[in-house]
Amino acid sequence: MKERENEKMSQYTEEINRRRTFAIISHPDAGKTTLTEKFLLYGGAINLAGSVKGKATARHAVSDWMEIEKERGISVTSSVLQFEYDGYCINILDTPGHQDFSEDTYRTLMAADSAVMVIDASKGVEAQTRKLFKVCGMRGIPIFTFINKLDRDANDTFELLDEIEKELGIATCPVNWPIGSGKEFKGVYDREKRCVISYSDTEKGTKEGVATEVNVEDEATLRSLIGDAAADKLLEEVELLDGASAEFDLEAVRAGKLTPVCFGSALTNFGVEIFLQHFLKMTTAPLPRKADIGVIEPAENEFSAFVFKIQANMNKAHRDRIAFMRICSGRFDANMEVRHVQGNKVMRLSQPQQIMADERKILSEAYAGDIIGVFDAGIFSIGDTLCMPKEKFRYEGIPTFAPEHFARVRQLDTMKRKQFVKGIEQIAQEGAIQIFQEFNTGLEEIIVGVVGVLQFEVLKYRLENEYNVEIRLENLPYEHIRWIENKEEIDIAKLTGTSDMKKVKDMKGNPLLLFVNSWSIGMTLDRNKGLVLSEFSRN
Indicate if the pLDDT at residue 48 is higher than 50.
no
pLDDT at 537: 65
pLDDT at 75: 41
505 is a domain residue: yes
* 266 & 297 share domain: no
Question: Domain limits at 314?
Answer: 289-387
Indicate if the pLDDT at residue 522 is higher than 50.
yes
Q: Rounded to whole angstroms, what are the CA distances from 250 to 11, 109, 263, 275, 476?
A: 27, 21, 19, 16, 50
Separation between Cα atoms, residue 330 and residue 325, nearest integer Å? 14
Each residue's pLDDT tens digit, 388-428: 999 999 998 776 777 888 999 998 888 898 989 888 888 88
User: Beta partners for 177?
Assistant: 189
pLDDT at 455: 79
pLDDT at 334: 93
pLDDT at 37: 85
Model confidence band, residue 7 (pLDDT cutoffs 50, 70, 90): low
Angle CA 8–9–10, to nearest 5: 90
Indicate if the pLDDT at residue 253 is higher than 70.
yes
Our count of domains for the chain comes to: 3
Q: Higher model confidence: residue 457 or residue 209?
A: 457
Helices assigned H by DSSP within 26-66: 32-42
Q: What is the CATH number of the domain that holds 132?
A: 3.40.50.300
Rg for the chain, CA atoms, rounded: 25
Q: Higher model confidence: residue 42 or residue 206?
A: 42
Residue 394, exposed/middle/buried by CB under 10 A (0-12, 13-18, 19+)?
middle
Each residue's pLDDT tens digit, 262-287: 999 999 989 999 999 999 999 999 99
Of the candidates 172, 158, 333, the residue with the CA atom closest to the CA atom of residue 257 = 172
236 is a domain residue: no
Q: Higher model confidence: residue 430 or residue 382?
A: 382
Q: What are phi and psi of 403, to 5 degrees?
A: -65, 150
* 69 & 119 share domain: yes
Separation between Cα atoms, residue 25 and residue 398, nearest integer Å? 19
Q: Of 231, 265, 282, which marks where a domain is finished?
A: 282
* 480 & 426 share domain: yes
Q: Which of 16-30, 62-76, 282-296, 445-459 is the least confident region?
A: 62-76
Mean pLDDT calculated for residue range 69-81: 51
Separation between Cα atoms, residue 531 and residue 520, nearest integer Å? 14
* 366 & 411 share domain: no
pLDDT at 357: 52
Pairing of strands 88-94, 19-26: parallel
Number of residues that make up the chain: 539
Q: Higher model confidence: residue 208 or residue 369?
A: 369
pLDDT at 173: 95
Indicate if the pLDDT at residue 47 is higher than 70.
no
* 135 & 275 share domain: yes
Mean pLDDT calculated for residue range 481-503: 88
pLDDT at 538: 53
Q: Of 255, 282, 309, which marks where a domain is finished?
A: 282
Mean pLDDT calculated for residue range 359-375: 89
Spatial contact of 377 and 429, defined as CB atoms under 8 Å apart: no
Mean pLDDT calculated for residue range 214-220: 90
Q: What is the DSSP string of 127-150?
A: HHHHHHHHHHHHHT--EEEEEE-T
Indicate if the pLDDT at residue 157 is higher than 70.
yes
Model confidence band, residue 95 (pLDDT cutoffs 50, 70, 90): confident
Q: Higher model confidence: residue 245 or residue 249?
A: 249
Each residue's pLDDT tens digit, 114-149: 999 999 999 999 877 887 787 777 778 899 999 999
Spatial contact of 94 and 81, defined as CB atoms under 8 Å apart: yes
- The gap from C-alpha 456 to its chain's centroid, in whole angstroms, comes to 20
Mean pLDDT calculated for residue range 480-484: 90
* 104 & 135 share domain: yes
Mean pLDDT calculated for residue range 37-58: 57
Spatial contact of 325 and 151, defined as CB atoms under 8 Å apart: no
pLDDT at 153: 96
Spatial contact of 71 and 55, defined as CB atoms under 8 Å apart: no
Q: Could you give the maximum distance between any two Cα atoms of the chain, in Å?
A: 86
Of the candidates 311, 389, 405, 392, the residue with the CA atom closest to the CA atom of residue 347 = 389
14 is a domain residue: no
Q: Rounded to whole angstroms, what are the CA distances from 206 to 46, 61, 180, 201, 468?
A: 10, 14, 23, 10, 40
Alpha-carbon torsion angle 179, 184, 187, 192, nearest 10: 0
pLDDT at 139: 76
Collect all residues with Cβ–Cβ distance below 8 Å to 201 and sequence separation of at least 6.
151, 209, 268, 270
Q: Which of 32-41, 73-82, 229-238, 437-446 is the least confident region?
A: 73-82
Q: Which of 50-59, 190-199, 412-421 is the least confident region?
A: 50-59
138 is a domain residue: yes
Separation between Cα atoms, residue 318 and residue 452, nearest integer Å? 29
393 is a domain residue: no
Averaged pLDDT of the chain: 84
Mean pLDDT calculated for residue range 335-347: 95
If you ran DSSP here, which 8-state letter would residue 334 be given?
Answer: T
pLDDT at 251: 93
* 27 & 97 share domain: yes
Separation between Cα atoms, residue 246 and residue 291, nearest integer Å? 35
Collect all residues with Cβ–Cβ distance below 8 Å to 243 and sequence separation of at least 6.
none
* 129 & 92 share domain: yes
Q: What is the CATH number of the domain that holds 451?
A: 3.30.70.3280
3-class SS letters over 67-125: HHHHHHCCCCCCEEEEEEECCEEEEEEECCCCHHHHHHHHHHHHCCCEEEEEEECCCEC
pLDDT at 340: 97
Model confidence band, residue 354 (pLDDT cutoffs 50, 70, 90): confident
Model confidence band, residue 313 (pLDDT cutoffs 50, 70, 90): low
Separation between Cα atoms, residue 76 and residue 460, nearest integer Å? 14
Separation between Cα atoms, residue 354 and residue 356, nearest integer Å? 7
Spatial contact of 39 and 272, defined as CB atoms under 8 Å apart: yes
For the entire predicted model, the pTM comes to 0.78
Beta-carbon neighbour count of residue 79 at 10 Å?
26
Q: Of 359, 387, 415, which marks where a domain is finished?
A: 387
* 143 & 87 share domain: yes
Q: What is the CATH number of the domain that holds 308?
A: 2.40.30.10
260 is a domain residue: yes
pLDDT at 282: 94
Q: What are phi and psi of 99, to 5 degrees?
A: -60, -25
pLDDT at 337: 96
Q: Rounded to whole angstroms, what are the CA distances from 274 to 185, 250, 270, 325, 497?
A: 17, 18, 8, 30, 60
Collect all residues with Cβ–Cβ distance below 8 Å to 66 and sequence separation of at least 6.
76, 77
346 is a domain residue: yes
Separation between Cα atoms, residue 159 and residue 121, nearest integer Å? 10
* 478 & 410 share domain: yes
Q: Rounded to whole angstroms, what are the CA distances from 424 to 196, 308, 325, 427, 432?
A: 55, 20, 23, 5, 10
* 427 & 329 share domain: no
* 361 & 491 share domain: no
147 is a domain residue: yes
Collect all residues with Cβ–Cβ distance below 8 Å to 11 and sequence separation of at least 6.
none
